[in-house]
Every structure is written in structure tokens, then in C-alpha cells.
Amino acid sequence: MKITPHEWNKYRKKALLRPLEPQTPPPVFGRFIVLPVMDELEELPGTLKSLTIALDRHNGPRTGVLLVINHSPDAPEPRRTANETLLRLLRTASPELLHGLVPGETLFWIDAASAGNELRHGVGEARRIGLDCALMLLAPEQRAEAFLCCLDADSPVAPDYLLGLEEWFRVNPEAGAVSIAVRHRPGRTAAEETAIRAYERYMADYVAHLKAAGSPYAFHTIGSAIAVRVPAYIAAGGMRVRRGAEDFYFLQAVRKVAPVGEYPTPLVFPAARPSDRVPFGTGPAVRSQLAGHPLPEYAAAGFSALKFLLETADDETLRNPEKFDEKMTEPIRHFLRQHGFDTVWPSVLRNLPAREGAARQAFDRWFDGLKTLQFLKSFHPAAPDFPPEPEREAPCAGTSVEKHQDFSGNHCHPDNIVLH
């Protein structure tokens, strides 16, 4: 993928930008690692130390690290105090925190925590601001090959983190993004350890079943374990501004413009702690299990039906709606009609190019990761009803967040199923 001047300027106009500290450098970077940080005095030093090691081993383009220290306007006092302390340590270049990272050269940060700077739309907004700011620091001649990494403050990386990603993108030139394997660190208690390993198996099983069914959305969506090429980031419309599931909706959007691959060896090692910081994800899943709620199972019939649907939806059949409808079983037919397929698809076909494969490509864009989750839940008798109205991406005050038709909305992140 390439970026035209028009595409670059169009995205730049809607980018969510904030001032950088200790200063804004010239655009000379080829890679950036972005971390949202909220009340992470205990975890952040270890993560920065791991990044120092990874940067020392990296022999590729110049790479920067950008922290977005943030909380909401109604954040509790302990969280505010922790962020204030972190900002002070950064501004005084505390060696116990930085572990060799040099402010203004390899390390930068954004103050989204001081009075008047707070964020109202959660971790998705923090990631978006950081990634958009990092985008503006890339050398113009490197944008087409540059990539941005999403990490979390509680997620140290392997020494070969950057080397591994450089090699992966080199041998996968067509890919727009990569979902990186993670291995959570041991839980602090036996119960936490049991919960986090059960959750890892649960998510791995979900992705394995998607692969077996032939889904193009068969990859993990973990916010601390994503790397994305800049052209794909721009084409997908940037990180989603949401309080949770921003990683799911973002990678879904990337998959609609470019392939999303997987890095099979763990390069990121998040904490296994229970948490209520976000509505979905590892922390809430661990907390839910510790409260006695087991991880529910998806119905095998759902994955069988998904496999049948995706195998039947070949290009020729999709171009003949009546033939396609006749081949569907009644549960699948009911789901497609319930979600407006019979209304949307004729219009899609009228605007479809004649080239082979175009119909299936359009179907995969419509029957996306969210539709897949909804489809599987429709086969699970214990699954909760979907919200009648989809939740839209949160607008940010003072910006023009462009709306993207990625059919995102309902809180159907894979982790959400864990919590019900």
C-alpha cells in the first residue's frame, strides 16, 4: 500500500493531536511505539526497561517511544496523584523510571492528565492521540514502509520485539497489520494464575475455531499486541475512539483494507491482574472468573454454520442472491435477513466490478468480525440479547472525527461474551 498526498492531507486534517513533551522533534522517525498510561507507577518502569533492551538490539529505522499519561475528568484522587507523580518523574528524567531512554531523543510523552487536559473517551482516545501524534513524527520518505506499535504500560516486551516485527513485515509485504502473540505473566495468586490461563485458552480456542471455519477475521485483538503499517492505519481511519474494544474495531477496519496476520511467538508479556479500568479485556475477564463466573462456551453448531456459510458464499453464488438464499439453512437465512442482508446486498451488487472475487470481497467486508460474533451468539441459547441500537464511536471535542462505515457498534468484542 502507498499513501497519496491527498490521503495524507485528508487524514492529517482529522488527526487528534496534542503537544508533546519535552519538545516536538522533527519528523525523522521510521517506527513508533505508543503506550497509554494511567496509574502505572508500579508497572511502567519494567516495561520501559524492556523497551530499552529492545531498542538496543534494533538495527532498523530510528524508533521512538510515546507515552500518553491520561485519566478522565472524574478520575479518583489516587489515580490523579499517581499520574501527577509520573509526570514529575518524567520531567526530572528519573533514571529509576527511564532505564536509559532519553527524553527528547527516544522518549516523548503527552500530558492528558493535568487539569483541562483530561480525556473523556477512555483508552481508545488515548491510543488514537498517541498514534496520530506519532504519525506526524515519521520521516516523509519512510511513511510507506513505517509501522506503529500499540503497547500497554503493564506489558514488557521480549528483547527481540522490534527485530521480530521488522522481519515479520519484511516477509509479509502485503500485510497491513499484525496481531502479536502474548503470554501473560504469572498471576499474583493461584486463583489469578488459574483464571488467566483459562482465559488464554478460551481466546485461543475462539480464534482456532474461526480459522477452521475459514473466517478472514481469525486473529486475536489485544490492544497491547498490535503493529500496523502506516498506509493501513490511514486507510482504516485511525484507532477507534472508544472506552473499550477499540482494538477489536480497529483491526476489523484494517482487515477491510489489507490482510491482518499473526506473529505466533509471544513478544509481549502483559500483567495478569484483575481490573475494572476498561469494560472488556483481560482484567475484567480475570475479575469475572475470580467472582465465580465461568467462561461460557460457544455452541459448536454456530461454528459449523459459520463454516457452511463461508464455504457457500463463493463469488458466483453471491452474484445470484436467489441462488444464495436457496442454499442457506433457515437459521442462517433468518440471521442474514435480521441484519438487513436482503436489503443491502442488491445495492452492493449494482455497484460491484465484474472482476472475479469482487463479490466475495464485498461480502467479507459486510460479514465482518462484529457480524461473526453476532452470528455465533445467535446459536448460543444463553447469550444475551444484542443492544437494539449500536454504540457509535465517541466524537472528541474540538475535532472532526470522521465516521467510518465499519458496521461497528454493539459491544460484541470477544471479551464481552466472557462477562455475561
Q: For 9-57, how does the pLDDT look when each residue is reduced to its tens digit (9 = 90+)?
A: 999 999 999 999 999 999 999 999 999 999 999 999 999 999 999 999 9
Flag whether 24 is in a domain. Answer: yes
Asked if 320 and 259 sit in the same domain, the reply is: no
Shared domain for 326 and 201, answered yes or no, is no
The residue with greater pLDDT, 285 or 260, is 260
What are the pLDDT digits (tens) for 381-402?
554 333 333 445 554 443 333 3
> Is 349 found in the same domain as 214?
no
* Same-domain pairing of 190 and 308: no
- Helices 300-312 and 190-213 pack at an angle, to 10 degrees, of 30
Q: Is residue 256 part of a domain?
A: yes
DSSP letter for each residue of 127-183: HHHHHHHHHTTB-GGGTTT-EEEE--TT--B-TTHHHHHHHHHHH-TT-SEEEEEE-
Separation of alpha carbons 252 and 255, rounded Å? 5
Question: What global pTM score does this model have?
Answer: 0.88
Q: Is 357 exposed, middle or buried (0-12, 13-18, 19+ CB in 10 A)?
A: exposed
pLDDT tens figures, 138-168 = 999 999 999 999 999 999 999 999 999 999 9
The verdict on residue 306 lying in a domain is: yes
Does 407 reside within a domain? yes
Q: Of 215, 238, 273, which residue sits at a domain end?
A: 273
The reply to whether 66 falls in a domain is yes
Clarify whether residues 352 and 405 are in a common domain: yes
CATH number of the domain enclosing 229: 3.90.550.10
182 and 71 together in one domain: yes
13 and 116, same domain (yes or no): yes
* 287 within some domain: no
Peptide bond into 22 cis (omega under 30): yes
Asked if 129 and 196 sit in the same domain, the reply is yes
| Domain boundaries, position 65 | 5-273
Are 181 and 266 members of one domain? Answer: yes
Number of domains in the chain: 2
Residues 201 and 322 in one domain: no
For residue 144, which of 205, 231, 239 has the smallest C-alpha distance? 231
Per the domain annotation, does 291 fall within a domain?
Answer: no
User: Among 332, 172, 128, 333, which residue's Cα sits nearest to residue 262?
Assistant: 172
Query: Model confidence at 284, in pLDDT bands (50, 70, 90)?
Result: confident
**Average pLDDT in the chain:** 89
Rounded Cα gap, residues 332 and 175, in angstroms: 31
Does 366 fall in a domain?
Answer: yes
State whether 261 and 317 are in the same domain: no
Mean pLDDT of 277-282: 63
Q: What is the pLDDT of residue 382?
A: 54
Cα separation, 249 vs 7, in Å, equals 21
Are 84 and 154 in a shared domain?
yes
Neighbours of 86 (CB within 10 A): 24
Task: List, in sequence order, the alpha helices (H) in 214-338.
Answer: 230-235, 246-255, 282-290, 300-312, 315-318, 321-327, 330-338
